[in-house]
Amino acid sequence: MLCVERRSRTACSCWTSTDTRSMLPPLTLPPVSLGPAGTVAPLGFGTWAWGNKLLWGYDTSEDAALRAGFDRAMQPDGARASGVFWDTGDSYGTGTLEGRAESLLGEFRAASATPERAVVGTKLAIYPTRLTGAQFEEACRSSLRRMGREQVELVQAHWSAKRFQPWQEPAVWDGLARCHESGLARAVGTSNYGPEQLRRVNRFWRERGVPHVSNQAQFSLLSTLPLESGLFEACAEMGVVPIGYSPLALGLLSDKYGEGTLPPGPRGLLFKEILPGLRPLLGTLREAASARGKTVGQVALNWAMSRGALVIVGVRTAAQAEENLGALGWRLSGAEMDELERAAAKVPRKATQNIFNTE
C-alpha cells in the first residue's frame, strides 16, 4: 500500500530511515530559475506536435484547438505564480510545415492577454549544412522572425554533434554563444548532452561569459538514464537546470491506451511492444492516483518534477492543458516515489533512447 502522508516511521510501514526525501516540503514544488531567461513553474509545455504530421497527425484545422490549449496553459493560478515555460524548435513541423511550431507559438503569444508570462526556449537543429557559428546565429534570427520577436529567452542546441559529426560541435558551441552575445537570446541551453559532454560545453561557455542555464534529457519512469548516468548530479554541480522531455513516454504513461486502443502510426507500433510489460507499473500508478485523487498521467508528471526536473509535456487542447496542470500544487512522498521506481525497474522493455544522446 502506498503512503500519501508524512507520518512517523512507526505509523507508516512503507517509509524507510534512509529516505532523505522525507525532508522535502510535502505539498509544493518550487518554481524553477532559468537565470536570465526567467523563473517558471516546474511544469512547462512542448510544441513538438504542432505541425508534425508523421508522428502526431497534425492538420491545420486543429490550430484553433492549439490556441485554446495555449491560452489555458497561460492562465495564472495559485500553483503557477511564476512564468510558463514553452519549448519549441526550428525543426518542429514536417516537410513544408517545418518551423510551424515556432510560427504558431509566436502568433499565440502575441495575442495572449499575458504575453510576459511566457518564457520560450527554442532549439536549433544540428543540420549537417550548419557548419559555422555564423550559420547557427542566422538560424536563430530565422526562428525569431517566425516568432515575431527580436529576442528569445532561451536558445538551445537540439542535440550534440559529437556522435555523428564531431567536427561540427565547435560550430554549435560558438553559434549559440554568438546568439547570446549579439542579444538574440538571454541565455543558452543544451539538449541530449550526457554529463561528460555537458561539462565540456559548460566550461567553454563559462569562459566566454555566456550563461548556460539548462540541459534537456528524455526523462520518465520508462526513461531513467539521467538518474543512472550521473547527469542530474552534473547539472546540480554546474547550476544547470535539467529539463525532462517525454515525461509520459509519448503517452504510454497516460493510461489512455491499451492493446486494443493503440494510436495510429509509429507510436502504435512502439506501444504494441511495450504495453504488455507495462501492466504492473500502470497498476502502481493507478494505486497512487486513486490515493491522491489524481489521474495516472498527473502522478507520472509529478514523479518527474519531484525528482528535480523542469518537465515539459505536450499540449494540443484546452482539456489536455487542464489535465496536465493537475500535476501541480502537490508533491509525491518519498515512499510513493520509491514504490513507483521499484515497479518501473521491473518493466522489461523501456522507452527507446534518443540516438543523439551523448555520454
Tell me the per-residue pLDDT of 49-108, one tens digit each, with 9 for 90 and over. 999 988 888 999 999 999 999 999 999 875 566 899 999 999 999 999 999 999 999 999
Task: State the average pLDDT for the chain.
Answer: 89
Q: Tell me what the mean pLDDT of segment 305-316 comes to.
A: 97
Q: Which of 37-51, 64-78, 154-168 has the lowest mean pLDDT?
A: 64-78
Judge whether 356 lies within some domain.
no
Q: Tell me what the mean pLDDT of segment 312-334 comes to.
A: 95
Is the model's pLDDT at 7 over the cut of 60? no
Is the model's pLDDT at 25 over the cut of 50? no
245 a catalytic residue: no
Q: Which of 22-36, 60-74, 171-185, 317-331 has the lowest mean pLDDT?
A: 22-36
H or E, element range at 342: helix 334-345
SS3 45: strand
Is the model's pLDDT at 6 over the cut of 80? no
SS3 201: helix
pTM for this structure? Answer: 0.89
Q: Tell me what the mean pLDDT of segment 147-167 comes to.
A: 97
Supply the range of the domain harboring residue 53: 30-345
At residue 238, the pLDDT reads: 97
Judge whether 6 lies within some domain.
no
SS3 65: helix
Judge whether 12 lies within some domain.
no
Q: Which of 23-27, 55-59, 225-229 has the lowest mean pLDDT?
A: 23-27
Q: How far is CA 248 from the centre of its chain?
A: 10
* 121 vs 185: CA distance, rounded Å: 9
Judge whether 353 lies within some domain.
no
State the catalytic residue, choosing from 92, 193, 245, 257: 92
Is the model's pLDDT at 113 over the cut of 70? yes
Judge whether 204 lies within some domain.
yes
Is the model's pLDDT at 5 over the cut of 60? no
* 143 vs 149: CA distance, rounded Å: 9
Judge whether 241 lies within some domain.
yes
* 176 vs 133: CA distance, rounded Å: 7
pLDDT band of 20, cuts 50, 70, 90: very low
Site of grid cell 539521467: 226
Residue 178 is part of a domain; what is its CATH number?
3.20.20.100
Domain count, the chain: 1
* 338 vs 82: CA distance, rounded Å: 29
Judge whether 352 lies within some domain.
no
Hey, how many other C-beta atoms are within 10 angstroms of the C-beta on 153?
23
Nearest 10 degrees: CA dihedral of 109, 110, 116, 118?
10
Judge whether 68 lies within some domain.
yes
* 25 vs 41: CA distance, rounded Å: 16
Q: What string of DSSP letters covers 243-311?
A: EEE-TTGGGGGGT---TTSPPSHHHHHHHHHHGGGGHHHHHHHHHHHHHHT--HHHHHHHHHHHTTPEE
